[in-house]
Structure 1
Amino acid sequence: MRILFVAALVAFLAACTAKTDDAPPVIVPKGPGEQAQTLAPEDVGTDRWTAPNEADLTYVVSMIGHHRQALEMSALAPERAQNETVKALASRIHDTQGPEIGAMEQWQRQYGEKAPAHGHSGKMPDVDHASMPGMATGEQLDALKNARGADFDRLFLQLMIAHHEGALKMALDLLKAGVDPRVQEMANDVLVSQQDEIDTMRSIKIG
């Protein structure tokens, strides 16, 4: 379901970028209970379009960096992990968060760079990725790279649970402050999928 959502999102965004003379209208989702807005393709990015706000833009930039660290950590597991469940979980994280990064980058190209409203400059916000919730420090990543076997498994679970919990906080904050329905869908997917993975990681027993 998670991969299907990402694939559908990428397909939707790609369709919105099509530039043809007979391109169909762009349907812009609105908030819950609100009627969707229909725009001509050339109107996306103009004052007729309800732009993402700063919270949406910052969330996407932040979550791309957050996901990239999860990929870095999970890529270490095949050669270092001992527990097969840890290996399978790391593979799942790697295989799902990579496409999610692609979907968020596509959203940036289609919508984030066309957001002059709300005082936004049109540039992506600067984010201090090291200060984001749940991010492992350089020292912790070095320790993970140097660990093997059960020691790796224990440290991986410790760091990845904290990492996922940080992602949940970021997603909840976005849902309180963001306005873009596409970004809200991304955040809701994070809440569901990463809480499920946290539950799985907490159930793993390392001998």
Structure 2
Amino acid sequence: MPKKSSGLITPALVAASAVAGALLLGGCGSSDESHGSHGSHGSRSPSPEAATQSAPVVQGGAPGESAKTISPSDAPGTDPWNRTDAAFVTMMIPHHAQALEMTRLAHEHSSHPEVNSLATRIESAQGPEIVAMSGWLNARGLRVPRASDPAHTMDGMLTEAQMTELGKARGERFDRLFLTGMIQHHEGAIKMADPMAAKGSDALAIEMAMDVEATQKVEIEIMEKLLTKL
């Protein structure tokens, strides 16, 4: 879990916790592999291709009905479940990591207490989500991306130039850049999460996407109100 420094959660430690959690999951993931195989792989993690071809699909039921497990060949659509679900989860990890880097800068450069409070709120949501998403991928034998993986082409991601400008800003200028940049970032995450309701197959992955969407819509409203106060 992230430590506190001067009463504030340190996002770098949140990210470190996420990486540590992923490594721990990687070290003990063999106990979960039976969920995605028929036991023929022993203690070895299945490759992403094998997971795509043989892992069962958790299909959500209608309201009031339980989810059921079906074979990939019986899944709706043309793609196996992890083509859609794992793509979202994989991309969201470095996407969240950039948001945590932005909140670290907020604690260092903002002079506005509400901006600092918002930064802590974002850390509290996205740090644990990184750990959960890493675990989801690891349990399915899929690669857990590093926070440093290239992600600039994803929806909402700030460019290197934007991040450099944010890192150099201070005070009210920083606050405006942070809020406008984080709104852009959140809108991108919502755009990435939106197709999951229709195209996702794994119940947990869909739940994570819906959590991202709901949480970040509320935070966008907070940021838009904060901008009017500056």
Query: TM range, normalised to the smaller chain?
Result: 0.7 to 0.9
Q: In the alignment, does 2:220 pair up with 1:198?
A: yes
Residue 98 of structure 1 corresponds to 127
Q: In the alignment, does 2:72 pair up with 1:69?
A: no
Distance of 1:112 and 1:54 partners within structure 2: 13
Letter in 1 for 2:67: A
Q: Which of 109, 132, 137 does residue 138 from structure 2 map onto?
A: 109
Q: Which of 176, 185, 193 does residue 154 from structure 1 map onto?
A: 176
Segments of structure 1 that go 5 or more residues without pairing to the other structure are 1-9, 21-27, 40-45, 114-122
Alignment of 1:172-183 (within 5 A): 172-183=194-205
The percent of aligned pairs where both chains have the same amino acid is 42
- Aligned-residue Cα RMSD (Å) equals 3.1
Pairs aligned (count) = 171
Alignment of 1:18-167 (within 5 A): 19=31, 29-33=58-62, 35-37=66-68, 52-111=81-140, 113=142, 129-167=151-189
Distance of 2:168 and 2:130 partners within structure 1: 27
Segments of structure 2 that go 5 or more residues without pairing to the other structure are 1-20, 33-56
Distance of 2:125 and 2:100 partners within structure 1: 10
Residue 59 of structure 1 and its aligned partner are, at CA, apart by: 0.5
Distance of 1:124 and 1:91 partners within structure 2: 25
Letter in 2 for 1:82: S
CA change 1:93–1:49 in 2 (3 A) is farther
CA change 1:99–1:49 in 2 (3 A) is farther
Moved over 3 A (4+): 17-20, 34-39, 46-51
CA change 1:128–1:145 in 2 (3 A) is closer
Residue 175 of structure 1 and its aligned partner are, at CA, apart by: 2.2
Residue 176 of structure 1 and its aligned partner are, at CA, apart by: 2.5
Q: Secondary structure at the match of 2:59?
A: coil
Residue 69 of structure 1 and its aligned partner are, at CA, apart by: 0.5
Structure 1-normalised TM-score? Answer: 0.72
Residue 52 of structure 1 and its aligned partner are, at CA, apart by: 2.8
Residue 4 of structure 1 corresponds to none
Structure 2-normalised TM-score? Answer: 0.65
